[in-house]
């Protein structure tokens, strides 16, 4: 009986963990990564796009070098005109992480396949311009 309860408990924990992964973006078509992981990609890979999803004013104040701007609420209308390769790696950020998640979800719905969302510039310890 105790072994049966342990297995049931273990199965419930596994199911709960899978549900949490979907909520934080894992399995939802894009992947959440840390600022450190994003920086590692920027330092070691080529051919990616850094997408800033804040407002024009926020972007003008400070942004990650090389980032292009598409405000999160304009992604659906503008992405396909600017981001022409739907399989290209796109690193998405905003101020705190809320808008970048919305933008990442919108990109996935548009058919983009290689989206990594890394939260907000407020947690970015590296260079900005």
Query: Cα–Cα distance between 47 and 109 in angstroms, integer?
Result: 22
Strands 115-120 and 90-94: parallel
94 a catalytic residue: yes
Choice among 35, 70, 75, 94 that is catalytic: 94
Structure tokens at 13: 């924990």
List Cα–Cα distances, 30 to 3, 65, 103, 118, 121, in angstroms.
Answer: 37, 23, 10, 11, 19
Catalytic residues: 94
């Amino acid at each position: 009986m105790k072994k049966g309860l342990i297995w049931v408990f273990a199965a419930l924990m596994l199911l709960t963990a899978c549900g949490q992964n979907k909520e934080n973006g894992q399995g939802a078509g894009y992947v959440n990564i840390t600022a450190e992981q994003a920086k590692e990609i920027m330092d070691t890979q080529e051919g990616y796009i850094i997408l800033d999803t804040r407002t024009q004013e926020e972007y003008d104040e400070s942004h990650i070098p090389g980032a292009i701007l598409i405000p999160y609420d304009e992604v659906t209308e503008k992405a396909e005109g600017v981001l022409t390769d739907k399989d290209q790696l796109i690193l998405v950020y905003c101020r705190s992480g809320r808008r970048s998640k919305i933008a990442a979800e919108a990109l996935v719905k548009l058919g983009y396949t290689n989206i990594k969302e890394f939260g907000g510039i407020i947690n970015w310890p590296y260079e900005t311009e």
